[in-house]
Amino acid sequence: MRALRLVIALCRVPRLFSSLLLFPLILGLVVMCAQLLVTSLILQAGRKSIGPVESTDPGREKLRSIVSNLIYGHETPQPLRICRWQTKVVDGQAIELPPDDPHCAPDRLDVALKVKHPDLFDPTQFQLILDGTIERLHICSSCHPDVVIVPGTPVRTEVSSVWGLLVLGATSLNPDVGEKLKSARTDMRRIWDSVGSIEFYSSGLRDAVKIKDLYVTSAIVINIAGMIVIALWLALKAHRRVIDYFARSGALLPMAAGCGSSNFYLAIWMLTCLRVAAFLIAVIPLSAYWLYDMVDPEQLYAIFGSDLLALALWIAAVSAGLGLATVIASIGELKQRHFLFSFGYRYVPLLIAGLGTIVWMATFIIGTPFWGFCRNIITLLPVLGLTPIIIAPIFKPSYLALVLHSGLALLLLLQMVRSNARWFASHLEEI
Amino acid sequence: MHEHARRQISIEATGLSVAYGVRPALRINELSARGGIIAVIGHNGAGKSTLLKSVLKLLPCSAGRLDVFAFDREVRQRLKPEEHMAFCPEGGSVFADISVESYIRLWCRLKTDDPNYYRSGGRHWIEQLELAPLLKKLGRELSKGQRRRVQTAIGFFSRPRLFLLDEPFDGLDVQKTSELAEIVERQASSTSFLLTSHRMDVVERLADTLIVLRNGELFAVGPTEEVCRTIGHAGAKIRGINNIEAAMDALKKHLPCAVMSKFGSEIIVCGKIPAAPELLSLVRSLTNSQVEIEEIVPSLVDAVSYHLKDTASQCLAA
């Protein structure tokens, strides 16, 4: 009760409320939104490469018209005009001039081919690339638009403005290339369609890995795991930050004494839980909305909804496993805090998990049942089997491995916190 | 005279051991200190602050026990930090990014349920510790002394049975020291105090009981005068010396373990010194003058100076 009173009293001070709750909450939300945005972009890119061919063209055409509008002021570029410059004698001086054609009036957003003898140079290869995106190609020896290509071995291109970069970038939107891409994608699609759904079987896995769903599944898995990581980060790292905040002001000891040390530390945990709860309440509807918007509900159901037990076990295993890794990193750093490279200790679980990942991946090379068994052993070991646990919805390990990983990680987590409580206490006394 | 009016507490420890990690910081086999104002003294790193934190249960005891009892009509009552104690750390405390007023309101809400208590019941302390001009300031704008005044006022709001003050006079000028000492003395009728300090003149004036710590262990405990005798051994006042400077130089050579100070035309000697007749003949032989010697109880300042010198030489020898 006294702890709750302290939490309420702290939250009622506006500045403390923003320092302890609001600011980290906003930070967590921003990180989560950024993660969702990046995943959406990755998902969209993935859809382009494996989705229906027609769906990719309007985007490319739209981009081409936007770029053309920016450079030339109209949506469709005129066909490429070759403007070959000539040397004329004016007032006794040899001067290189553009052709008399008014369409060849030089502009800084044109492209030039800088050659020694403009009248002899064959521009066919450049014509093929630039036609459809660029309106004028000058062949000259001394002109200076923003993009100047110097043919030779090797070819060199001089760009003298940001707009020049845009002009050069427009060449990648060449309609001819677009057609070839479309054709390549059609062939690719035909190959994909001809092999049907690709299912990868390996001993030790509960079910086949659906290769075609890999893109969507990994995006969702990474997001959910990311959410758990941020929640854990808010919980553990923020817990220490809150205490540091009190310690820096000198208020830690009087408050802990005034409220009773157990009440005070309980209040800090309550504040931390409040932070995590607020983060999850804000993020879960956002992520659910994003999932339904980005992913086909049937596909989503096929990945998660069809096996709710696996989903529950996965969330439990990921939470326990990541929680343990965070605690190990935190306590490791805390115990060695006087050592110059103490920050290195926070990467110890990451290193162990990395090692586990390498061995786990190696077990796929030899597909015998023995190696399948070894794979399951790695998966059930806390920290070492963190990667196979995070990607468990893709590479489906046995239920037993998920249960054992959750149980062992939870036991170790509790043991770590219990046996290292004094390290937290001694830390508090030193700051 | 005032001792009887003071509210007494008793600090009792048996087989106490407190450690930071694996490094022990305090080891006390047996302690029983009773008084109204108890001062914990000792050299830097002796374990004074650790003892205070252990009393407040902020540091867990790795062995033994430490309890504080109050005596109301000689009935013992165990004191709980969160209910009966207030604490002001050495550096004071106020959150850096909130105003002093917000911080005080937070404490008022916690301790009295009334966020405006500082304007009613606690107003006296705001005035007494001159906090009114500080109320609108942010914590980061306060000096160490001002932060300590804020926390002291907050401590008094809850009418504690025991107030723990860690180095309360450190960095205060003469006037502020005297004012705070007066407040402590005045409040001693309703609140007991446990304080640590290096200001021996103030401690001698205030404390009725002393706890002396040395290298994390209990060295002496008891009433102030008794402790002065224990740690200062013996004291003598030497009068009638013609050349004081020369006499002091000569005495220092013969009594390397003693502490000497000049007070007008007198020399005050404290520490392991010969008995009065031997000391008299020694001084007479060194100064060739008819001096007089008076045996005295060493003052706390002298006794602690001697104790620290003794401690330092022992440490050096070790």
Residue B228: name the closest of B317, B302, B290, B135 by CA.
B302
Coil, helix or strand at residue A138 = strand
Min distance B215 CA to chain A CA atoms (Å): 19
Q: Say yes or no to pLDDT of A242 above 90.
A: no
Average pLDDT over residues A300-316: 80
DSSP code for A368 = S
Peptide bond into A154 cis (omega under 30): yes
Condensed to tens digits (0 to 9), the pLDDT of residues A344-359 reads 777 888 889 889 989 9
Q: Do domains B9-79+161-229 and B234-297 have the same CATH topology?
A: no
Facing residue for A258 by CB, picked from B20, B53, B86: B86
Task: Report d(CA B248, CA B260) in Å as an integer.
Answer: 7
Q: Say yes or no to pLDDT of A332 above 70.
A: yes
C-alpha angle A195/A201/A205, rounded to 5°? 150
What's the pLDDT score for residue A113?
A: 93
Q: Say yes or no to pLDDT of A308 above 80.
A: yes
Question: Which of A11-20, A40-49, B34-43 has the highest mean predicted lDDT (pLDDT)?
Answer: B34-43
Task: Let me know: does A123 contact A88? Beta carbons within 8 Å.
Answer: no
Cα end-to-end distance, chain A, whole Å? 28
Condensed to tens digits (0 to 9), the pLDDT of residues A72-91 reads 888 888 888 999 998 888 88
User: What is the CATH code for B9-79+161-229?
Assistant: 3.40.50.300
Q: Is the dihedral of CA B140, A7, A411, A369 positive or negative?
A: negative
Give me the residue label for tokens 């931390």.
A272
Coil, helix or strand at residue A13 = coil
Task: Let me know: does B236 contact B297? Beta carbons within 8 Å.
Answer: no
Q: Which residues of A touch B92 (CB under 8 A)?
A: 250
Facing residue for A15 by CB, picked from B56, B89, B97: B97
Task: Report d(CA A155, CA A199) in Å as an integer.
Answer: 46
Task: Let me know: does B203 contact B169? Beta carbons within 8 Å.
Answer: no
Higher pLDDT, A281 or A165: A165
A193 in contact with chain B, both atoms CB, cutoff 8 A: no
Task: Let me know: does B81 contact B52? Beta carbons within 8 Å.
Answer: no
The DSSP element (H or E) to which A49 belongs, if any, is helix A23-50
A250 in contact with chain B, both atoms CB, cutoff 8 A: yes
Q: How far is CA A166 from CA A113, A148, A149, A177, B6, in A?
A: 17, 13, 15, 18, 86
Task: Let me know: does A361 contact A350? Beta carbons within 8 Å.
Answer: no
Average pLDDT over residues A315-335: 82
Facing residue for B98 by CB, picked from A15, A248, A253: A15
HSE (side-chain half, CA atoms, 13 Å) at A78: 11
- For the ranges A181-190, A292-301, A314-323, which has the lowest average pLDDT? A292-301
A263 in contact with chain B, both atoms CB, cutoff 8 A: yes
Task: Report d(CA A404, CA A378) in Å as an integer.
Answer: 11
Q: Which residues of A touch B110 (CB under 8 A)?
A: 5-6, 9, 258-259
Min distance A384 CA to chain B CA atoms (Å): 29
Min distance B211 CA to chain A CA atoms (Å): 22
The DSSP element (H or E) to which A159 belongs, if any, is strand A156-159
DSSP code for A397 = B
- CB–CB of A429 and B81 under 8 A? no
Task: Let me know: does A257 contact B82? Beta carbons within 8 Å.
Answer: yes
What's the pLDDT score for residue A58?
A: 64
- CB–CB of B82 and A258 under 8 A? yes
A4 in contact with chain B, both atoms CB, cutoff 8 A: no
B97 in contact with chain A, both atoms CB, cutoff 8 A: yes
Question: Over the Cα atoms of chain B, what is R_g?
Answer: 22
Ranges of beta strands (E only) in chain B are: 9-20, 23-35, 37-42, 63-72, 75-78, 85-88, 162-166, 192-196, 209-214, 217-223, 234-239, 259-263, 266-271, 292-296
Q: Which residues of B touch A16 (CB under 8 A)?
A: 95, 98, 106
Q: Which residues of B touch A260 (CB under 8 A)?
A: 57, 80-82
Nearest C-alpha in A relative to B90: A250
Task: Report d(CA A62, CA A66) in Å as an integer.
Answer: 6
- CB–CB of B98 and A16 under 8 A? yes
B124 in contact with chain A, both atoms CB, cutoff 8 A: no
Residue A429, number of CB atoms within 10 A of its CB: 17
Coil, helix or strand at residue B166 = strand
Within 8 A by CB and 6+ apart from A191, the residues are: none
The pTM (predicted TM-score) of the whole model is: 0.66
Higher pLDDT, A13 or A400: A400
Task: Let me know: does B16 contact B31? Beta carbons within 8 Å.
Answer: yes
- CB–CB of B151 and A19 under 8 A? no
Min distance B147 CA to chain A CA atoms (Å): 9
- CB–CB of B109 and A9 under 8 A? yes
Task: Report d(CA B271, CA B274) in Å as an integer.
Answer: 9
Condensed to tens digits (0 to 9), the pLDDT of residues A196-220 reads 877 888 877 877 887 777 777 777 7
What's the pLDDT score for residue A152?
A: 84
Q: Say yes or no to pLDDT of A167 above 60.
A: yes
Average pLDDT value over all residues in chain A = 81
Q: Which two tokens mark A148?
A: 């100047």
Q: How far is CA A85 from CA A115, A136, A179, A272, in A?
A: 11, 12, 32, 73
Task: Report d(CA A266, CA A413) in Å as an integer.
Answer: 19
Within 8 A by CB and 6+ apart from A156, the residues are: A149, A150
Coil, helix or strand at residue A261 = helix
Task: Report d(CA A380, CA A407) in Å as an integer.
Answer: 9
Q: Which residues of A touch B85 (CB under 8 A)?
A: 257
Average pLDDT over residues A406-421: 85
Residue A100, number of CB atoms within 10 A of its CB: 7
Residue B138: name the closest of B89, B80, B96, B171 by CA.
B96
Coil, helix or strand at residue B89 = coil
Q: What residues in chain B have per-residue pLDDT under 50?
A: 1-4, 315-316, 318
- For the ranges A120-134, A230-244, B142-156, B293-307, which has the lowest average pLDDT? A230-244
- CB–CB of B81 and A261 under 8 A? yes
Q: How far is CA B24 from CA B5, B21, B28, B54, B221, in A?
A: 38, 8, 11, 13, 21
What's the pLDDT score for residue B90?
A: 84
Q: Say yes or no to pLDDT of A119 above 80.
A: yes
- Residue B189 phi, psi dihedral angles, 5° rounding: -75, -20
- CB–CB of A426 and B20 under 8 A? yes
Give me the residue label for tokens 């020399």.
B267
Task: Report d(CA A396, CA A379) in Å as an integer.
Answer: 11
Task: Report d(CA B61, CA A319) in Å as an integer.
Answer: 34
Identify the burial level of A283 via C-beta atoms within 10 angstroms of its C-beta, where 0-12 means exposed, 13-18 middle and 19 or more buried. Answer: buried
- CB–CB of A260 and B89 under 8 A? no
Residue A259: name the closest of A273, A246, A275 by CA.
A246
What's the pLDDT score for residue A426?
A: 46
CATH topology of domain B234-297: Alpha-Beta Plaits (3.30.70)
Mutation site, B18, B50, B55, B58, interface A, largest A CB count within 10 A: B58
Q: How many helices (H) and strands (E) does chain A have?
A: 18, 9
- Residue A222 phi, psi dihedral angles, 5° rounding: -65, -40
Q: Say yes or no to pLDDT of A108 above 80.
A: yes
Indicate the domain borders of chain B.
9-79+161-229, 234-297
- CB–CB of B147 and A261 under 8 A? no
Condensed to tens digits (0 to 9), the pLDDT of residues A375-412 reads 889 999 999 998 899 888 888 888 999 999 999 999 99
